[in-house]
Amino acid sequence: MKDINVALIGCKFMGKAHSNAWANAPHFFDMNLRPVLKAVCDTNEQVLGEFARRWGWQETETDWHKIVARDDIDIIDIATPPGVHCEIAVAAAQAGKHVFCEKPIALNAAQAAEMHHAAEKAGIVNYLNHEYRRCPAIALARQLIDEGRIGRIFHWRGAYLQSWLVDPNFPLTWHLQKETAGSGAQNGINSHSVDLARFLVGEIKSVVAMQTTFVKERPLAGEAAGTFNAAGGDSEGPRGKVTVEDAISMIVEFENGAMGSFEASTFAPGRKNYNYFEIYGDKGSLIFDLEKMNELQFFSADDPEHAQGFRTILATEPCHKYMANWWPPGHSIGFEHEFHHGVVDFLDAIDKGAGVTPDFLDGLKGMEVLEAGLQAARTGTKVVLGS
């Protein structure tokens, strides 16, 4: 096994998830490349040292430019808010580093295109971490579709619902500002649904949409506030304007003629991380719910009439993608395992000199759909992709 040096930029929620995957993937998977947790970078010096110690990063740095310029770094892992993804990814590609990047790819399609072109020009392996593609149950859904078990697809029905912004006193974190997030529920969570729809159904041709912002102003955020974390918010203190949408609904037409609906909201009490989809075809149907992520529901019209109905497949057998490397059949895996699978596939692509998906081109195509949805919602018109 050959060592390959990784540098992580960003050490909050996603920094933890990524660190866990880099550190533990070699314990479960046979890999030709062994990730070395060489350096971690963050602007917050107070938390940086403790983060490095806890997760096993050898060195710390507060300036990502210095990390990218180092000759001993092979991989740049971007786990920052999306407002700086483009600048870091382009610099890393130009420096010849492979790039592992958290979603959404960037603030907008123009930045995504810049990232894609830089990666293509440099010839580096680039990966966009839409981790749900690497859930075994979703891999099974793709397998059943590829085998023709669903037949011609008519409908995609997706919803991604959370509730962490319902409280009007949740602080004005970066997620709620256009200049740092690009958009709200659309980029933040609907990007996952759009990526899965593209992965399972195909490219999207046109979009109509509606959006709204339920809470227009919020308390300014304290330094410790972040994703799902209201720390430091002062409901009696100064407030700022929310500049992104809280919820959006889209109706789309796929290039293959299928119809689709998407709903994304952070104002759905009782829904913590509800990533759900239904796919309906002329031979069968599929249902997935991330809150039951080891299960896939499958209906087959080929079953005898007296035995037809949705069956629940527990995707934990060794025959299901990735599962032979984990626990015995029936023993569930969780959210963090999808990050491990991303690390394994990314390193395998580097080792083989191949590509891995989703990549920056996928990110660009997804961002074009997201932007079309925002445009359709603003204008009240149908937006055709590429027009």
Partner residues linked to 127 by β-bridges: 100
Encode pLDDT of 232-242 as tens digits: 666 678 999 99
**Same domain, residue pair 97 and 245:** no
Q: What's the CATH number where 250 sits?
A: 3.30.360.10
Cβ within 8 Å of residue 133, ≥6 positions away: 139, 195, 196, 199, 357, 358
* Cα 377 → chain centroid: 23
Number of domains in the chain: 2
pLDDT of the residue at 113: 98
pLDDT of the residue at 227: 82
pLDDT of the residue at 230: 76
Single residue among 89, 117, 132 that ends a domain in this structure: 132
pLDDT of the residue at 232: 62
Single residue among 132, 163, 179 that ends a domain in this structure: 132
Encode pLDDT of 136-167 as tens digits: 999 999 999 999 999 999 999 999 999 999 99
**Same domain, residue pair 46 and 185:** no
Q: Is residue 385 part of a domain?
A: no
Q: What's the CATH number where 125 sits?
A: 3.40.50.720
Cα separation, 96 vs 75, whole angstroms: 9
**Same domain, residue pair 191 and 121:** no
pLDDT of the residue at 234: 66
Q: Is residue 318 part of a domain?
A: yes
Structure tokens at 373: 């949805």
**Same domain, residue pair 19 and 138:** no
**Same domain, residue pair 253 and 282:** yes
Integer angstrom CA distances of residue 358 from 21, 170, 188, 346: 18, 33, 17, 10
Q: Which domain range does residue 331 map to?
A: 133-354+366-379
Q: Which residues of the chain have pLDDT under 70?
A: 232-235
First CA to last CA distance, the chain: 49
Encode pLDDT of 25-35 as tens digits: 999 999 999 99
Strand runs labelled E in the chain: 2-9, 33-41, 59-61, 75-78, 98-102, 126-129, 153-161, 204-212, 217-219, 239-241, 247-254, 259-265, 274-281, 284-289, 295-300, 311-314, 383-384
**Same domain, residue pair 79 and 157:** no
* Bridge pairing between strands 295-300 and 311-314: antiparallel
Partner residues linked to 70 by β-bridges: none
Omega within 30 of 0 (cis) for the link into 104: yes
Single residue among 77, 97, 132 that ends a domain in this structure: 132
Tokens 């729809």 — which residue? Answer: 197
Q: Is residue 386 part of a domain?
A: no
pLDDT of the residue at 226: 76
**Same domain, residue pair 139 and 96:** no
**Same domain, residue pair 77 and 169:** no
DSSP 8-state assignment for residue 227 = T
Q: Is residue 359 part of a domain?
A: no
pLDDT of the residue at 228: 80
Q: Is residue 210 part of a domain?
A: yes
**Same domain, residue pair 74 and 141:** no
**Same domain, residue pair 36 and 147:** no
Q: Is residue 360 part of a domain?
A: no
**Same domain, residue pair 265 and 153:** yes
Cα separation, 224 vs 343, whole angstroms: 28
Determine contact, residues 262/366, Cβ cutoff 8 Å: no
